[in-house]
Structure 1
Amino acid sequence: MNDREEEAGKSWDELYTIDLMPSELFFKFRQQLQGFQLGLNLEFYNSPINEFHGKMVLKPLSDDRKWKFIYQPLHHDIRLVSKKIPLTKFLNLQVGIGHSLEMHTTGWKWKLTTCLGGDGVSRIRNKTSLGLYPGVDMRFGWRADYVLPEFTGAVGTGEALFNMNSGRLEASLDRIETIITHTYDSPKDQVSSISP
């Protein structure tokens, strides 16, 4: 069977798959207080194994924040991580130093990240945020793997004059985050907002 016959036999259902069952569920509780944000993250993973992570995160609220502090009580890890530093339009660098209280070791890590994954061409990863109402947000992490359609042809070689491979799309909803943010207003701020 040649490529053309295989393509003709494919139904629309074979050209794409969409998986809407997330493998990660995050609940994030955030408290904003005097220029800082203190967060408690409850992270549930159901693929490939069931796992739970708890994290406490402290970071500055300013737009030019350069760091965040992470403590994982279940794993006894403390980390200080830089914000993502853009190297190019699609490539970011992140560095961090950490200490394991359980193993009494200190080390540092670095990570190159991009919204393009896989081979850099055939995967898109992204997060989409949706504000439900003040203080409550939803964030969806999604991924799309695709093979672009391909057209080929030949003359005088015994192959078909025109062939088409229709490509394939695999999309999935990988993560759902619920983010609850509480902002603390000091009594001085409340008085200034009431006064004319």
Structure 2
Amino acid sequence: MEPSSSGEEPMSWDELYNINLMPSELFLKFRKEIEGFRFGVNLEFYNAPINDYQAKLVLKPLSHERRWKFMYEPIHQDVRLLSKKIPVTKFLNLQVGIGHNFRMSATGWKWKLTTCLGGDGFSRIRNKTSIGLCPGVDFRFGWRADYVLPEITGALGTGESLFNMNSGRLQASLDRVEVVLTHIS
């Protein structure tokens, strides 16, 4: 790699392309399906930026028209009722929730717009991939890729170089690993 025209040293390939396979979140989910509802116990372990642990109890209907889910976090003493993600556009979703914290005696509501695309100054793809190992055992992987596409430019008669190439950047990571164990009666 040649030095750029601005006098800066070029980045090494290790700095331009980075793939991190150490997940920052590990989830173990136990589910039981009873009479049209799914009851779940989620054990969530967070590795970065600080080590943390959360437990959640989740209740939601099994139907495809499911419009809500109920969550209780015993450690934080939070109760929440969340809507399902409502598609606003093809890539944009809205979720609304109301909750109560027993420890602080506070009630409030939240809303969240989410997308699988977009980032801070560069492009980002976020996605979840599911693999069914056998009936009742699923693995889910949450991954992210931040990228800048390669770019080739040039000029003639302007004092700039005839040929410039920016090799782009890629920073990919495996953010979440979930093991989902479902008991169907």
When normalised by structure 1's length, the TM-score is 0.88
- 5+ unaligned residues in a row in structure 1: which ranges? 185-196
Aligned to 1:98: 99
Question: Do 1:28 and 1:39's aligned partners in 2 also have CA atoms closer than 8 Å?
Answer: yes
Displacement of 1:154: 1.5
Aligned to 1:193: none
Counterpart of 1:13 in 2: which secondary structure? helix
Runs of 4+ aligned residues of structure 1 deviating over 6 Å after TM superposition are 4-7
Aligned to 1:126: 127
Aligned to 1:189: none
Aligned to 1:2: 4
Partners in 1 of 2:148 and 2:182 — Cα distance? 40
Displacement of 1:153: 1.4
Equivalent position amino acid for 2:18 in 1 = T
CA 1:181 to 1:130, structure 2 compared with 1: closer, same or farther past 3 Å? same
Partners in 2 of 1:131 and 1:154 — Cα distance? 53
Question: Do 2:122 and 2:146's aligned partners in 1 also have CA atoms closer than 8 Å?
Answer: no
- 5+ unaligned residues in a row in structure 2: which ranges? none
Question: Do 1:129 and 1:139's aligned partners in 2 also have CA atoms closer than 8 Å?
Answer: yes
Displacement of 1:10: 5.3
CA 1:103 to 1:28, structure 2 compared with 1: closer, same or farther past 3 Å? same
Larger % of helix: which? Answer: 1
Query: Could you give the per-residue CA deviations for residues 105-129 of structure 1, whole angstroms, max 9, x where no partner exists?
Result: 1000000000113148610000000
Question: Do 2:144 and 2:172's aligned partners in 1 also have CA atoms closer than 8 Å?
Answer: yes
Over alpha carbons, which structure has the higher Rg? 1
Question: Do 1:122 and 1:147's aligned partners in 2 also have CA atoms closer than 8 Å?
Answer: yes
CA 1:120 to 1:13, structure 2 compared with 1: closer, same or farther past 3 Å? closer
Structure 1 residue 156 corresponds to structure 2 residue 157:
yes
After the TM superposition, which residues 163-182 of structure 1 pair with which residues of structure 2 at under 5 Å, given as runs? Answer: 163-182=164-183
Aligned to 2:141: 140
CA RMSD between the two structures: 1.8
CA 1:144 to 1:21, structure 2 compared with 1: closer, same or farther past 3 Å? same
Aligned to 1:187: none
When normalised by structure 2's length, the TM-score is 0.93
Aligned to 1:60: 61
Displacement of 1:175: 0.4
Question: Do 1:4 and 1:164's aligned partners in 2 also have CA atoms closer than 8 Å?
Answer: no
CA 1:46 to 1:31, structure 2 compared with 1: closer, same or farther past 3 Å? same
Query: Could you give the per-residue CA deviations for residues 31-78 of structure 1, whole angstroms, max 9, x where no partner exists?
Result: 000000000000000100000000000000001100000000000000
Partners in 2 of 1:67 and 1:10 — Cα distance? 48
Aligned to 1:31: 32
Aligned to 1:110: 111
Question: Do 2:126 and 2:144's aligned partners in 1 also have CA atoms closer than 8 Å?
Answer: yes
Query: Could you give the per-residue CA deviations for residues 106-158 of structure 1, whole angstroms, max 9, x where no partner exists?
Result: 00000000011314861000000000000000000000010111122122121
Partners in 1 of 2:108 and 2:83 — Cα distance? 14
Partners in 2 of 1:33 and 1:68 — Cα distance? 15
Question: Do 1:4 and 1:163's aligned partners in 2 also have CA atoms closer than 8 Å?
Answer: no
